[in-house]
Structure 1
């Protein structure tokens, strides 16, 4: 009795649905939406479980990046719209116009979720590439951003064309008429893309390079290279964002060559007071001859000067003599060549530059064995500390402009001398009286 009664109710429901097609279409559509939702849940859970199981293998560890950037989640989100898209064909009671609109919406959702999945896949590929050796020399972040931009532009055209039920070629032809506006809007993007290709293909810039670009206030390490900007962290920890195209339009200094060479240049001068430059007398020569680094030089120089001076008589204008600044130059060169922190395979010289109002520059030009900034400054400081303290041993003086204190000391000495002279004069007069 209960079974027959239930069957009669089902027959009555089916008869009512036949008499009300809109009600049948609504119930069928609700059932289809429920199936689509359940299919999406099942597909997403299945894809995640399978991917997690595969990523446990060492050879497939890159699948973790797909999970982390939600590529699998985005793919799972396309299942409900696909079920809805193909399931609409099984609802005959649905009006053709309604079926077309719902089908276009489902297709647009499918395209949208595929775009999001592809964008997430680009992020995952960028993360995988960043762990390779090539990422240290070549950044592909700009290319990924450009690919994402092109993807969403064309994907947006397809979505809009699907919703309005028109061909995407119709919208693309309209974009051709707007090419001038597009070029104006995306001018910086196009310039940056071309500059990014040139920088990368010519290996002009890498992440980690120390670059110097005074016109934009950049002096530090490159921390990021994107399509539109290059981020530089200055040594004061500030961040400077430079438009990529400016790195091709303007000059900048890249210190990578110095870091790869294994040596950093020292180029600094000692300014010798010109009034302290003189010939060395025999006593000074004997004193400096006791210096280990100067012994061979002085013996060789004395023999050279003796062979030159002997046939030319005793007239001073015809004779050559050793100078204290020349001897200091020879000692400094020998000191640098024997210094353990100076690179022997690179240029090392000590030269005298043109005299200036600040004295005679004695320039030290050499390279350290290290490129580390702090260690380089230590080596350079040690060298010049020693040389500044040693200059007086050669009878020379380092030039220094007079300060206010020097003026006061000189003025006080002059006043003291005048006072002493006046006091002596008064004393002599009183004695005579």
Structure 2
């Protein structure tokens, strides 16, 4: 009661001035309240501006003296701006009895509005601090490639739910627990509405716990057209920047329910696989004679191999008294086997091949397109451009080397091949005409 009396006396001066101006008493009450409200709002704005400038100056000065980025991120996420909004709120709360002294019935509702605004400001401050912590964790080595956005979104969703419950409790005058109890009957509807959020949250935990995907990983998910680097992992989606610079968005829980390929292992080991075949024309495969061996021995990479191999073959054939008038008898080398040995020696001495990973030249099952000689090895540079150059250099050399082993690479007939065959088999038109002497007879 004493507060109301003092409030009435403090606001009486403007009210009396309005009456002296000839304004009716009823209208003067409303104008008096509006003038006082405007004055309080101006004071609040001034207090907010001064507080914000002081805080920004202090934080900037402190940030310039520290090596951490946390204070810089506080400025970036406007935490000081939201904290400064508490000053006009405090001024307005203190001024309520004075401004609404003549409208006592309005005071409880105005206080409810200020309580709601306090809840919202607290939510904004929490959101700013949470985003600051999220951004700061992304700069650390431990959390740089972790799905920090997902957990930050979970916390902000929880904060929004709690704020909503508090606002509901403020407006209705009922406890928060009463509202939660009432919402228990609608839990099925809530689960349906927040299905994607719940699934995304569970998926984010599994992805983080099992270390399935990190920021920066190269993943391939053909079902959704994703083939590129992961740039963001949040509560509901994973953003992948494809190599053509397009962005593919994948629901987070699809990383758990569907299969995908993560190329991180390749990047960690430092070797990128090369698996490609040269198809040899089967009709060009043959046994090699002594003259062929002597000719192939001029090839530096397989000179020692041929001498050792031929010595063991000759010894076997002599011990077993093999008739070598036919090459098929006894043990022999083939030109395709020598070519495989050459390809193995070539990749073994190539400086661009990873020597600690698998290196193999193998023969696959013959097909209608010839006999595949497959190279299985790893380039020691995982960068796409350099990887393609390494692979191209290796196969350029081997394709050019095939003819030195009396082999041919299989290829389907080209248009000029067909034209050559047609011209070769078509008889001359003059030869089709009957002889003149024959016609005379």
Question: Which one is further off, 235-244 or 42-51?
Answer: 42-51
Question: Which one is further off, 24-33 or 269-278?
Answer: 24-33
* Deviation digits for residues 5-41 of structure 1 (CA, Å, limit 9, x no counterpart): xxxxx9x959969x98994983766655554444333
> Hey, what does 1:419 align to over in structure 2?
428
In the alignment, structure 2 segments of 5+ residues that lack a partner are: 1-9, 20-24
SS at match of 1:332: helix
Question: Which one is further off, 124-133 or 82-91?
Answer: 82-91
User: Against the structure 1 CA distance between its residues 274 and 30, is the aligned structure 2 distance closer, same or farther, given a 3 Å change threshold?
Assistant: closer
> Hey, what does 1:220 align to over in structure 2?
228
> Hey, what does 2:6 align to over in structure 1?
none
How far residue 266 of structure 1 moved from its aligned partner, in angstroms, is: 0.9
> Hey, what does 1:78 align to over in structure 2?
86
SS at match of 2:108: helix
Q: 1:266, 1:365 within 8 Å by CA — same for their partners in 2? A: yes
Please give the TM-score of this superposition, normalised by the length of structure 1: 0.88
SS at match of 1:138: coil
Distance 2:203 2:266 in 1: 24
Distance 1:386 1:424 in 2: 52
> Hey, what does 2:306 align to over in structure 1?
298
Q: 1:351, 1:362 within 8 Å by CA — same for their partners in 2? A: yes
Alignment equivalent of 1:340, drawn from 338, 351, 368: 351
Paired residues, number: 417
Distance 1:357 1:61 in 2: 64
Q: 1:82, 1:106 within 8 Å by CA — same for their partners in 2? A: no
Distance 2:429 2:409 in 1: 32
* Deviation digits for residues 313-353 of structure 1 (CA, Å, limit 9, x no counterpart): 34345411110000000111011111111111111111111
> Hey, what does 1:405 align to over in structure 2?
416
* Alignment RMSD (CA, Å): 2.9
User: Against the structure 1 CA distance between its residues 37 and 295, is the aligned structure 2 distance closer, same or farther, given a 3 Å change threshold?
Assistant: closer
Distance 1:336 1:421 in 2: 57
Distance 2:219 2:172 in 1: 51
SS at match of 1:133: coil
> Hey, what does 1:258 align to over in structure 2?
266
Distance 1:53 1:281 in 2: 87
SS at match of 2:375: strand
> Hey, what does 1:170 align to over in structure 2?
178
In the alignment, structure 1 segments of 5+ residues that lack a partner are: 1-9
Does 2:316 correspond to 1:308?
A: yes
User: Against the structure 1 CA distance between its residues 268 and 15, is the aligned structure 2 distance closer, same or farther, given a 3 Å change threshold?
Assistant: closer
Does 2:293 correspond to 1:285?
A: yes
Matches within 5 A, 1:68-107: 68-88=76-96, 93=101, 95-107=103-115
Please give the TM-score of this superposition, normalised by the length of structure 2: 0.87
* Deviation digits for residues 182-205 of structure 1 (CA, Å, limit 9, x no counterpart): 100110111111111111111111
Distance 2:133 2:377 in 1: 45
Does 2:396 correspond to 1:385?
A: yes
Does 2:276 correspond to 1:268?
A: yes
Does 2:151 correspond to 1:143?
A: yes
SS at match of 1:212: strand
* Deviation digits for residues 106-161 of structure 1 (CA, Å, limit 9, x no counterpart): 11111111111211222222222222212432130111112112211221221232
How far residue 167 of structure 1 moved from its aligned partner, in angstroms, is: 2.4
Does 2:252 correspond to 1:248?
A: no
* Deviation digits for residues 227-265 of structure 1 (CA, Å, limit 9, x no counterpart): 111111111111110111111100000111001101111
Distance 1:392 1:33 in 2: 92
SS at match of 1:220: strand
User: Against the structure 1 CA distance between its residues 139 and 15, is the aligned structure 2 distance closer, same or farther, given a 3 Å change threshold?
Assistant: closer
* Deviation digits for residues 393-421 of structure 1 (CA, Å, limit 9, x no counterpart): 10100001123332221111111xx3399
* Deviation digits for residues 40-88 of structure 1 (CA, Å, limit 9, x no counterpart): 3333333223222222212465222112211111111122223323443
Question: Which one is further off, 108-117 or 271-280?
Answer: 108-117
> Hey, what does 1:233 align to over in structure 2?
241
Distance 1:96 1:177 in 2: 39
Alignment equivalent of 1:46, drawn from 49, 54, 59: 54
Q: 1:81, 1:106 within 8 Å by CA — same for their partners in 2? A: yes
SS at match of 1:109: helix
* Deviation digits for residues 376-406 of structure 1 (CA, Å, limit 9, x no counterpart): 1111101111111110110100001123332
Distance 1:47 1:168 in 2: 35
SS at match of 1:232: strand
Q: 2:100, 2:106 within 8 Å by CA — same for their partners in 1? A: no
